[in-house]
Structure 1
């Protein structure tokens, strides 16, 4: 009879460990995916040394992108008659934005504080999603509140800046 109780406790402990490991791995995967999705744009905005910086005046907008002439901020880069910027709720025709040109393309991303915060929006969403996983699967409510607070703060700051 003693071995059945010991066996039952061991299996409960193994299941608990398995749930914790799987949920922790899922939360880590969500956060890594958020960083990965954000880094594609954030690298151009945050690591600007050696990149062409300037302004774009949005002349035309399509369904997903807007275009306009690129005016360099420093004398080295050349002006371009048309560059492409992603159309978001914050990009309006007739407005001028500070941008960084992606190397080897005619695509630009917004620079400055608004561009940095906007680039990290996918991470903000991942923080919110990971908070749900951490609270529900790991039963770590304080850690979940910290993750949710960080995600909400990032998304709110990006909304306010853009």
Structure 2
């Protein structure tokens, strides 16, 4: 019986770690461009129009950032910018016209997948590993991340 309990906890712990690793992996694709802006073209994007999943706009580079050719028009995810005329601080992904929002709101938005992974993993930790305090901490952290991202992007 003890061996089955140990096996269940081991499998559930591995599943929780897998969920968290997937959340970090999914977040890092965008977060690295937000957090590590050294050598990347940075500036301000002015939204000129939005489609179903992306917004386009003009890009004005900040003095002394990035190198090489900087595009005059860039694309950003629609969840970041939905109002025509909005001015958003952005960094460009290398060798693309794709922009990511920088600053606090961009940082929080980049880590949204990790917030969701924390919420999912908290259920596994609570039910499978039987660590309710740890699960509550994970759930509150994930919920706070999701909520703060929504609040900073909405207002």
- Find the counterpart in structure 1 of residue 148 from structure 2: 157
Q: Which of residues 18, 21, 27 is equivalent to 2:16?
A: 27
Taking the aligned partners of 1:76 and 1:149, their CA distance within structure 2 comes to 37
Question: C-alpha displacement at 1:158, in angstroms?
Answer: 0.8
Listed as ranges, the gaps of 5+ residues in structure 2 are none
TM-score, with normalisation over the residues of structure 1?
Answer: 0.89
Cα offsets for 1:9-42 (capped at 9, x unmatched): xxx1111111011000000000000000100000
TM-score between the two structures when normalised by the length of structure 2? 0.93
Which range moved further: 52-61 or 67-76? 67-76
Which structure would you say has the larger Rg?
1
Gaps of 5+ in 1: 1-11
Cα distance in 2, alignment partners of residues 88 and 158 from structure 1 = 11
Moved >6 Å (runs of 4+): none
Query: What is the deviation of 1:75?
Result: 4.1
Moved more, 151-160 or 126-135: 151-160
- Distance in 2 between residues matched to 1:43 and 1:138, nearest whole Å: 32
Task: Deviation per CA, 1:44-91: give whole Å up to 9, x if none.
Answer: 000011111001101011111111111001145555331110111643
Maintained 8 Å contact 2:55/2:81: no
CA RMSD in angstroms, aligned pairs only: 1.3
